[in-house]
Amino acid sequence: MSEGVSDLGRFSDPGLFVLMSLAAGEKHGYAIMEDIEEVCRVKLGPGTLYGAIARLESRELIEPVLSEGRRKPYRLTAAGEAALTGRLKELESFTRVGLGRLATA
Amino acid sequence: MNGLSRWMVRLYPREWRERYEEEFLEMLEERTVSFPGCLDIALGALDAWMRPQIVSSGGMTRMLERLRWSVLGVLWGWVLFVLAGVGFQKMTEYDDFVQVAQRNFLVRSAFDAIVAGAWLSFAAILIGGLPIVFVALKSAFTQRRREVMLLFLVPPLSLGAFVGYVLLLTRIVYPAEGRMTIHSSPNIALFSSIVAVFVLAAVASTAAVCRAVTHAAVGENLYRFAFYPAVLAAGAMCVGLISVVVWGVALKVQAPALFGGDGGILATSTAATWLSVVLGMALSTGLAAVAIIRGFSPRAASRTTDT
């Protein structure tokens, strides 16, 4: 399922950040942007953020939560959770191997 | 830069803006957008043009839109049905028709069924529509959305314009013209203008309300609730349509002279006016039926999501 995130081209990393942010609970665009800045130390531009959101939504990895206000919160779908889990496990394995190689070098 | 960034949202394709513009602008209002931020918006717009397929009408949004289309489709159908019904009412208010209805059970029953269907559909539209209008108005006030509030002013203004126009004709124009024969050109022109203003007011009011509730923050639950009265309204419209058909057939059998005479609107053919009413009601009921059929699908989907 991790292909759902990693094949987003230049939006792969922003897409991963958005999924990561929504793993903590539903958020609207501005809150996602703030959360990513705080947790990932990455400042996403508005165009990039919504490019990622549109791609994730079209792949049904996230979905909007209907609300009464103008802000539209998003949440992870089951497929989004699986994609995020798969991608994080890949990164975990990648990190482990990399750190192992550095330790033995 | 925020003014520029807000303007730059217009660079995005229409489909993208319909889906994301509101929340995107909301986000831009909450932070200062730098020059690189504006550049990022321009690149985002370019990306949206190059890959229009990324704009998703996604699960719940698609469901809400279809449900809203369904409910508003029934509203449009009902308004068109009312316009046709007003024509029927106008034709049958004369003594000839009243007397036939008093003498004949089938004509009277069909007429009563039409009236009952009209009141039932009106009640259903109120029950389903008022909560939506209330929430839309409330959210427009709390969010200070002038454009939505202005749209809600269209129905009272339209009504005022129609009443004002009728008063102008009845108090000033008709007395000034003196006695006119029913088929005289001025009389036909004035009557046609009243009909035109009435239709225009009804269509403008409906379009404004539909646009207002579409742009206001009205949640899925209200549309799901409104779907039940919408089904009831569509059913009542079906009853009204069948009753008008029965009424016409019964009139043709029981009072052939009246049916074949010139008891229609502006002393035109009764049969032609009746057929026009039937056609108008059939089209509007058909629209409502299509809207209901489309609405059943998202309701099924939302029940699945709930469980």
pLDDT digits (tens, 9 = 90+) for B140-162: 888 788 888 999 999 999 999 99
Contact A46 B5 (CB under 8 A): yes
pLDDT, one tens digit per residue, over B256-272 is 999 998 888 877 899 99
Contact B26 A29 (CB under 8 A): yes
Contact A71 B16 (CB under 8 A): no
* Whether the predicted interface score ipTM is above 0.90: no
Which residue would you say has higher pLDDT here, B298 or B189?
B189
pLDDT at A1 over 60: no
C-alpha B283 chain-centroid distance: 13
Dist. CA B281–CA B204, nearest whole Å: 20
Which residue would you say has higher pLDDT here, B183 or B7?
B7
Confirm if B67 and B221 have CB atoms less than 8 A apart.
no
pLDDT at B21 over 90: no
Q: Where is average pLDDT lowest: A63-67, B8-12, B124-128?
A: A63-67
Contact A66 B64 (CB under 8 A): yes
Contact B33 A71 (CB under 8 A): no
Q: Give the helix ranges, DSSP H, for A12-77.
A: 12-22, 29-39, 46-58
Among chain B residues, CA nearest to A9? B47
- Provide the β-strand partners of residue A75: A63
Q: How many CB atoms lie within 10 A of CB B77?
A: 26
Torsion sign, CA atoms B120, B121, B126, B131: positive
pLDDT, one tens digit per residue, over B61-93 is 666 777 888 999 999 999 999 999 999 998 898
Set of chain B residues whose Cβ sits within 8 Å of the Cβ of A50? 20, 24, 44
**B24 closest CB neighbour out of A29, A63, A66:** A29
> pLDDT category, B303, cuts 50, 70, 90?
very low
Confirm if B244 and B278 have CB atoms less than 8 A apart.
yes
* Residue found under tokens 């990513």: A36
Torsion angle in degrees (nearest 10) through CA of A49, A55, A60, A62: 0
Contact A46 B64 (CB under 8 A): no
pLDDT, one tens digit per residue, over A10-28 is 888 999 999 999 999 999 9
Q: Nearest CA to CA, how far is A25 from chain B (Å)?
A: 17
Dist. CA A84–CA A20, nearest whole Å: 7
Among chain B residues, CA nearest to A49? B44
> pLDDT category, B31, cuts 50, 70, 90?
confident
- Against a cut of 0.80, is the pTM above it? no
Measuring CA to CA, which residue among B161, B150, B260 is closest to residue B212? B150
Instruction: Give pLDDT, residue B14.
Output: 82
